[in-house]
């Protein structure tokens, strides 16, 4: 009933008379085939501008994601690297190579599985919710996160920002954009972020074992070679030297590790973009990109120290990864004039990628070192297309599809060699009705897919008697998802109110789930990816911005989600059939306001919350519900701005990753819920200078 009421309300707002002289919210979606207004894109897309990110004093993607409806993340590392959209997404990556359900693009370059290290001075952050196979392929079963850094401008501009905060934290960032000539312009964004982190290690008497030390540089160069040809160059550098010491036997922020871990990443990426308008019927757009990344992720597996108890154990785990990838994505995009069919816009493209991945796992069990090495070479080739046909002045039909073939060449130190390959397809059909210039209704049906893979850990341990059951877990199948969605996007006549509502129902087949085998309930265990029979995810997300008065602006983003596991029983005998899926809170919301007390002084506040959710599909441990209050008071004087801010003002413990097992020898390894917590109360000050 509430869904019908919301949709009807927005539709009625759209019937207000059009006031042409008023400015209506104009947000351009960068990640779609065409750069269209957000209010005219069929599908549930949410966008945050740099101003939106500053409003919550967001310093990292973790902070920004809290503002999106039906979006969640999991940590299990120094940062929230694993994303879930509408309850679908991974929560970790150890030995097995996973294909994320929610991909990440930064300036068009594929960072799936690596995360976003910095959002400082971003042009725009977008989240596509629901399968986007036609546009993004196998990396977008549940959605896509798209970050665009500062675009080069021919009018010089720049900004420098400095932040100090509690927990010995500081950040220096800035960007500058300027022309080199009449045809050439560049932008450069730099960010250095450091913090001792929010963990006290009582055994080592240190407060920096979970520290943050991240540098990010992004450079863009645009060259208008001729009236018809525009070229672009993109370069990224990330140097992350974070610690990782997050889990406590006492289930708080005080750890006892004698061998704290690390979460390090060094990546380099470059891309060349082309936009050629010289063809009569279409423009040629594309990008070729390269990325090289080395990561070092490890942790103290026992979370304690030698001598803590006579029944202790001492294990350490470390994962060294190398990744090299080439990606090509080129498409023809029809022009409004001189089309093959006058009432049809179309896109036709080709995508190809090669990704070489290597893993070296080094695990110490007491004094014995165990090693596992694997390599996987993955090649993807896809053809895709989309048409948009005007059936009338107000009604249009969008039809898109993608066919993608992938092949793997897998080898590991256990003399396992496999070469799986498969062809998958995705599609989208959308019927859009433009009620008037302020309101659009749409209904769509889309199909997404995620490739299968190889359970390297299962293969490596299947020969051991206690793990004999893993012999049947050598591989996992591809997952497919069918999404039905209805949405309304509308603005009031004067532009003071903008709303978007989307209702969806998704059917998951061969749903990929994480499973574990722990034969004797001791420190020896093995993980694998399994397939449940099916899954169901349905709900609604709504976003509203309202300016009731000149000095007031209100925001409300609300998500409601129901998710169900299909027929699935864990190897430990738990029947999970019908239970909520992991990391899928039923309710999440973000409420906020801007209050301009004067021309110089502004108060901004935001409240983000989510209901309880299960941490895993393999056990029934759950998080607590949470409410985060963020405050920001800023003063603007000419080109200077001073802001004092507070995040998580209520100092809540918010779980971002959880396990259920026994790991404490002091209580005879009784099982508990062990949680990693997000940041506690943070407060700081930021000074910025714009020029």
Is the predicted pLDDT of residue 71 greater than 80, yes or no?
Answer: yes
167/145 Cα distance (integer angstroms): 29
Q: Residue 20: pLDDT band by 50, 70, 90 thresholds?
A: very low
Residue 636: partners with Cβ closer than 8 Å, 6 or more residues away: 599, 600, 601, 602
Residue spans per domain, the chain: 2-690
474/199 Cα distance (integer angstroms): 38
Question: For residue 506, which of 566, 440, 550, 434 has the smallest C-alpha distance?
Answer: 566
Q: Residue 125: pLDDT band by 50, 70, 90 thresholds?
A: very high
Per DSSP, the residues of 9-62 read HHHHHHTSPP-TTSPPP--B-SSSSS--BGGG-SSEEEEEEHHHHHHTT--SHH
Angle ∠(278,283,287) on CA atoms, nearest 5: 110
Is the predicted pLDDT of residue 419 greater than 80, yes or no?
Answer: yes
Helix or strand run (H / E) with residue 207: none
Backbone angles phi, psi at 480, to 5 degrees: -125, 155
The confidence score (pLDDT) of residue 525 equals: 73
Helix or strand run (H / E) with residue 290: strand 282-300
Q: Residue 15: pLDDT band by 50, 70, 90 thresholds?
A: very low
Is the predicted pLDDT of residue 22 greater than 70, yes or no?
Answer: no
Mean pLDDT for 312-334 is: 96
Coil, strand or helix: which one is 140?
A: helix
137-193 pLDDT tens trace: 998 999 999 999 999 999 999 999 999 999 999 999 999 999 999 999 999 999 999
570/530 Cα distance (integer angstroms): 9
- Give yes or no for a contact between 402 and 425, defined as CB atoms under 8 angstroms apart: yes
73/610 Cα distance (integer angstroms): 12
Which residue's entry shows tokens 């490739």?
A: 451
Please write down the long-range contacts of 280-284, taking CB distance under 8 Å and 24 or more positions apart.
280/335, 280/338, 281/334, 281/335, 281/338, 281/339, 281/340, 282/332, 282/333, 282/334, 282/335, 283/332, 283/333, 283/335, 284/330, 284/331, 284/332
Mean pLDDT for 88-117 is: 90
What CATH number belongs to 2-690? 2.40.170.20
Is the predicted pLDDT of residue 18 greater than 70, yes or no?
Answer: no
138/422 Cα distance (integer angstroms): 12
The confidence score (pLDDT) of residue 475 equals: 83
DSSP-derived letter for residue 493 is T
Least confident of 88-102, 247-261, 338-352, 556-570: 338-352
Mean pLDDT for 35-44 is: 90
Distances (CA, A) of 99 to 452, 478, 580, 663: 8, 10, 22, 30
Give strand pairing partners of 148.
124
The confidence score (pLDDT) of residue 3 equals: 40
Question: For residue 498, which of 2, 19, 26, 21 has the smallest C-alpha distance?
Answer: 26
Least confident of 87-91, 95-99, 305-309: 95-99
Strands (E), 97-195: 102-106, 109-110, 124-129, 143-148, 157-165, 169-179, 184-195
- Give yes or no for a contact between 466 and 536, defined as CB atoms under 8 angstroms apart: no
DSSP-derived letter for residue 526 is E
Is the predicted pLDDT of residue 623 greater than 80, yes or no?
Answer: yes
Q: Residue 55: pLDDT band by 50, 70, 90 thresholds?
A: confident
Q: Which residues of 598-630 are buried (b: 16+ CB within 10 A; e: fewer)?
A: eeeebebbbebbbbebbbbbbbebbbebbebbb
Q: Residue 530: pLDDT band by 50, 70, 90 thresholds?
A: confident
Q: Which residues of 211-238 are buried (b: 16+ CB within 10 A; e: fewer)?
A: bbbbbbebbbbbbbeeeeebbbebbbeb
The confidence score (pLDDT) of residue 481 equals: 96
Coil, strand or helix: which one is 103?
A: strand
- Give yes or no for a contact between 543 and 46, defined as CB atoms under 8 angstroms apart: yes
Mean pLDDT across the chain, nearest whole number? 91
CA atoms within 13 A on the CB side of 115: 31
Rg (C-alpha) for the chain, rounded Å, is 25
Question: For residue 455, which of 529, 551, 361 has the smallest C-alpha distance?
Answer: 529
654-689 pLDDT tens trace: 999 999 999 999 999 999 999 999 999 999 999 999
The confidence score (pLDDT) of residue 140 equals: 94
The confidence score (pLDDT) of residue 520 equals: 63
Distances (CA, A) of 324 to 120, 246, 310, 453: 26, 29, 45, 19
The confidence score (pLDDT) of residue 295 equals: 97
The confidence score (pLDDT) of residue 526 equals: 77
200/77 Cα distance (integer angstroms): 16
What is the pairing mode between strands 497-517 and 229-244? Answer: unpaired
């Amino acid at each position: 009933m509430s869904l019908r009421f919301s949709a009807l309300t927005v539709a009625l707002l759209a019937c207000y008379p059009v006031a042409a002289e008023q400015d209506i919210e104009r947000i351009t979606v960068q990640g779609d085939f065409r750069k269209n207004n957000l209010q005219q894109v069929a599908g549930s897309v949410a966008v945050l501008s740099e101003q939106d990110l500053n409003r919550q004093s967001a310093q990292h993607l973790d902070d920004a994601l809290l503002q999106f409806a039906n979006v969640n993340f999991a940590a299990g590392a120094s940062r929230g690297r694993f994303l879930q959209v509408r309850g679908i997404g991974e929560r970790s990556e150890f030995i097995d190579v996973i294909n994320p359900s929610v991909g990440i693009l930064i300036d068009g370059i594929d960072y799936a599985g690596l995360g976003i290290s910095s959002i400082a001075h971003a042009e725009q952050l977008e989240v596509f919710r629901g399968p986007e196979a036609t546009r993004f392929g196998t990396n977008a079963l549940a959605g896509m996160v798209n970050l665009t850094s500062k675009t080069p401008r021919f009018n010089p501009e720049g900004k420098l920002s400095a932040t100090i905060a509690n927990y010995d934290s500081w950040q220096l960032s800035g960007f500058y954009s300027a022309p080199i000539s009449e045809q050439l312009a560049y932008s450069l964004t730099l960010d250095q972020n450091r913090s001792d982190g929010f963990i006290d290690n009582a055994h080592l008497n240190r407060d920096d074992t979970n520290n943050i030390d991240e540098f990010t540089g992004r450079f863009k160069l645009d060259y208008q070679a001729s009236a018809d040809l525009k070229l672009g160059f993109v370069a990224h550098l990330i140097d992350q030297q974070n610690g990782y010491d997050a889990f406590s036997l006492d289930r708080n922020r005080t750890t006892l590790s004698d061998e704290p871990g690390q979460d390090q990443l060094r990546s380099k990426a470059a891309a060349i973009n082309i936009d050629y308008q010289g063809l009569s019927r279409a423009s040629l757009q594309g990008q070729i990109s390269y990325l090289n990344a080395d990561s070092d992720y490890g942790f103290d597996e026992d979370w304690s120290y030698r001598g803590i108890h006579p029944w202790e154990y001492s294990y350490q785990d470390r994962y060294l990864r190398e990744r090299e990838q080439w990606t090509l994505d080129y498409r023809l995009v029809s022009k409004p004039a001189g089309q093959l069919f006058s009432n049809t816009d179309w896109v036709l493209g080709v995508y190809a990628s090669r990704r070489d991945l290597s893993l070296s796992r080094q695990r110490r069990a007491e004094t014995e070192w165990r090693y596992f090495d694997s390599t996987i070479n993955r090649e993807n080739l896809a053809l895709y297309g989309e048409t948009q046909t005007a059936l009338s002045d107000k009604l249009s039909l969008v039809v898109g599809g993608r066919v993608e073939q992938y092949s793997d060449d897998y080898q590991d130190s256990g003399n396992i060699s496999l070469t799986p390959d498969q062809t998958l397809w995705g599609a989208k059909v959308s019927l859009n009705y433009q009620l008037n210039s302020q309101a659009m209704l749409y209904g769509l049906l889309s199909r997404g897919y995620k490739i299968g893979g190889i359970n390297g850990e299962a293969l490596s341990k299947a020969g051991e008697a206690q793990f004999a059951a893993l012999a049947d877990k050598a591989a996992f199948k591809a997952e497919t998802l069918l999404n039905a969605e209805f949405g309304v996007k509308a603005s009031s006549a004067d532009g003071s109110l903008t709303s978007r509502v989307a209702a969806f129902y998704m059917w998951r087949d061969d749903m990929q789930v994480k499973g574990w085998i722990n034969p004797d309930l001791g420190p020896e265990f093995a993980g694998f990816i399994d397939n449940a029979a099916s899954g169901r995810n349905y709900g609604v997300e709504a976003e509203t911005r309202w300016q009731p008065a000149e000095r007031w602006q209100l925001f409300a983003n609300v998500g409601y989600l129901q998710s169900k596991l299909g027929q699935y029983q864990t190897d430990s005998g738990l029947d999970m059939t019908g239970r909520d899926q992991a990391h899928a809170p039923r309710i999440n919301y973000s409420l906020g306001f801007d209050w301009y007390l004067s021309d110089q002084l502004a108060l901004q506040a935001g409240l983000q919350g989510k209901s309880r959710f299960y941490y895993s599909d393999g056990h029934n441990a759950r998080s607590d519900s949470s409410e985060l209050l963020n405050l920001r008071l800023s003063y603007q004087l000419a080109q200077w701005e001073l802001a004092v801010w507070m995040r998580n003002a209520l100092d809540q413990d918010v779980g971002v990753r959880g396990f259920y097992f026994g790991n404490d020898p002091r209580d005879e390894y009784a099982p508990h819920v062990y949680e990693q917590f997000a940041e506690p109360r943070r407060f700081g000050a930021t000074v910025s200078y714009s020029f």
